[in-house]
Structures are given as structure tokens and as C-alpha cells.
Amino acid sequence: MKRSKKKKVFNLKISVSNIALLGLLETLITSLSTTYFYFFTTMKKLTQFFTNLFSNNEKPIQAFHETEFDFRKKFYEEQEEQRNAIEVFRLNQFIGKPVIVVSNEWERPMIGVGVKIDYITKAMCPMLVVKSYIDNQEYLVFGKLFTYSDLLFSAMYCLTPNQILLMTTEGKMGVPFTNSTVPLPTHCETVVKLKENGFYEFLNSISTKEEVSNN
């Protein structure tokens, strides 16, 4: 009977040890689970934070570039408007006035009168429309403009188109016409055309108006 009692006490001690071990394991597992849960929750929050941080920064950066582009575009547009305004002011001085136009083609300078300002391209570049008293046609002028004078008219007709372009462009175009053999009208032939088309009558009317206004 004593042996059986000792055996029972021994078994009871083992059972208590097992329970204590199980409790310890349970506590350890719970602790690890909690740590695991907080670790991954923290990592998830950090990932979300940095994702939001960089995604939010893209908008200000994009907005900055868009603002810079708009500023540059507006700046260049304003510069273009100012250049066009200055050119309009310059061209207005030739409207209704006798002019000499130096072409960039192999031909004699055109003698005519400034008629109006026209605008070309999307940039609305102002160009002078000139009525030629040589053939009574209107042309959009791309060449050099000069106020007419008899002396300048005579001097230009003493030069070749190459010489005139070298003079008016300061040599920047080089010698553009090397093999041109097209005959050019002489000064006398051009004077005849101008007389036939009423250019000198136009000059006299302008001189009369200027004299009246001065008096």
C-alpha cells in the first residue's frame, strides 16, 4: 500500500510539471504571436507611409514642371508679342510712302508704295504688303525695305543683285547667285515703267501734301 501511494504522488508531480510546461509554452507562443503581429503591422504601416510620401511628392514635382513650362511659354509669347509690336511700329512708317524693296531673288529692286500690314504663320508675324509701280501688283515683302529716294534708286540699279545683297546683308549670305544669266531691266527701262504706271505722279502728290502740312 505504501508503494502505491508513493507511485501516485510521483505521478501527481509529473502532471504538475507538464501543466507548468504547457503553460510556459502557451505563454511563449502567445508572446511570439503578438510580436509577429505587431512586427508585420508596423511594417505594413511603414510601407504605406513611404508609399503615400512618394506618391504625394509626385504631384508637387509634376505641378512644378507644369508651372515652369507654362511660365516659359508665357515668357516667350510675351517676347514674341513685343517683337511683333516693334515690327508693326516700324512697318507703319512705310504705309502710304514710296519704298524700295531689295529682293532675295535674282531681280532688280522693286519700286512701290506700302499698302498695309499682313500677318503670317501662327506667331502672327507682321509683314508689309507693297504695291509695285513696275507691274501694278501687290507683294508680301520678305526682303529689305528702304525709303525711296532718286539717289538710292539710281545707285542700286548700278549694282548687281549679288552686290546689293552683299551690301544689305553685310556679307552674311555670301554670294547667293553664281550662275544666274537671266537678263535684268536697266535703270532707263524701269523709269519708263514707273512713268507709265503713275509712280512720279504719286511722288508729286506726296510732296504737295508734305508742303501743305508743313505750312
Burial of 182-192, coded b for 16+ CB within 10 Å and e otherwise, reads eeeeeeeebbe
Mean pLDDT within 117-144? 90
Residues 161, 175, single domain; the answer is yes
- Give pLDDT, residue 6: 46
- Select from 23, 58, 92 the last residue of a domain: 92
- Give pLDDT, residue 93: 93
Residues 111, 172, single domain; the answer is yes
Whether 29 maps to a domain, the answer reads no
- Report CA torsion sign: 42, 46, 47, 52: positive
- Give pLDDT, residue 16: 46
Residues 126, 152, single domain; the answer is yes
The share of the chain scoring above pLDDT 90, in percent, equals 35
Of the candidates 101, 85, 106, which has an alpha carbon nearest to the alpha carbon of residue 161? 106
Whether 18 maps to a domain, the answer reads no
- Give pLDDT, residue 1: 43
Number of structural domains found in the chain: 2
Residues 46, 128, single domain; the answer is no
Residues 65, 165, single domain; the answer is no
- Select from 92, 115, 139 the last residue of a domain: 92
**Which amino acid is it at 123?**
A
- Select from 50, 75, 92 the last residue of a domain: 92
pLDDT grade for 9, boundaries at 50, 70 and 90: very low
Q: Are 199 and 111 in contact (CB under 8 A)?
A: yes
User: Beta strands of the chain (E only): which ranges?
Assistant: 98-102, 110-120, 125-132, 138-140, 144-147
Q: Calculate Rg over the CA atoms of the chain.
A: 47
- Give pLDDT, residue 49: 62
- Give pLDDT, residue 154: 93
- Give pLDDT, residue 95: 95
pTM value surpassing 0.75: no
Residues 200, 103, single domain; the answer is yes
Provide the CATH number for the domain around residue 157: 2.30.30
Residues 141, 205, single domain; the answer is yes
Q: Across the chain, what does the average pLDDT equal? A: 76
CA 193 – CA 16 distance, rounded (Å) = 133
Whether 22 maps to a domain, the answer reads no
The share of the chain scoring above pLDDT 70, in percent, equals 60
Of the candidates 99, 90, 106, which has an alpha carbon nearest to the alpha carbon of residue 199? 99
Residues 82, 65, single domain; the answer is yes
Q: Which three cell numbers stand for residue 139?
A: 507683294
pLDDT tens per residue, range 144-199: 899 999 999 999 998 888 888 888 776 666 666 666 677 889 999 999 999 999 99
pLDDT tens per residue, range 40-50: 566 666 666 65
Whether 104 maps to a domain, the answer reads yes
Residues 118, 180, single domain; the answer is yes
CA 73 – CA 65 distance, rounded (Å) = 12
Mean pLDDT within 98-125? 89
Mean pLDDT within 107-130? 90
Residues 117, 183, single domain; the answer is yes
Domain span at residue 168 reads: 95-209
Which is more confidently placed, 210 or 5? Answer: 210
Lowest mean per-residue pLDDT among 62-71, 109-118, 166-175, 181-190: 62-71
Residues 167, 205, single domain; the answer is yes
Residues 102, 140, single domain; the answer is yes
pLDDT tens per residue, range 91-104: 999 999 999 999 87
Whether 88 maps to a domain, the answer reads yes
Residue 179 DSSP code: S
Whether 149 maps to a domain, the answer reads yes
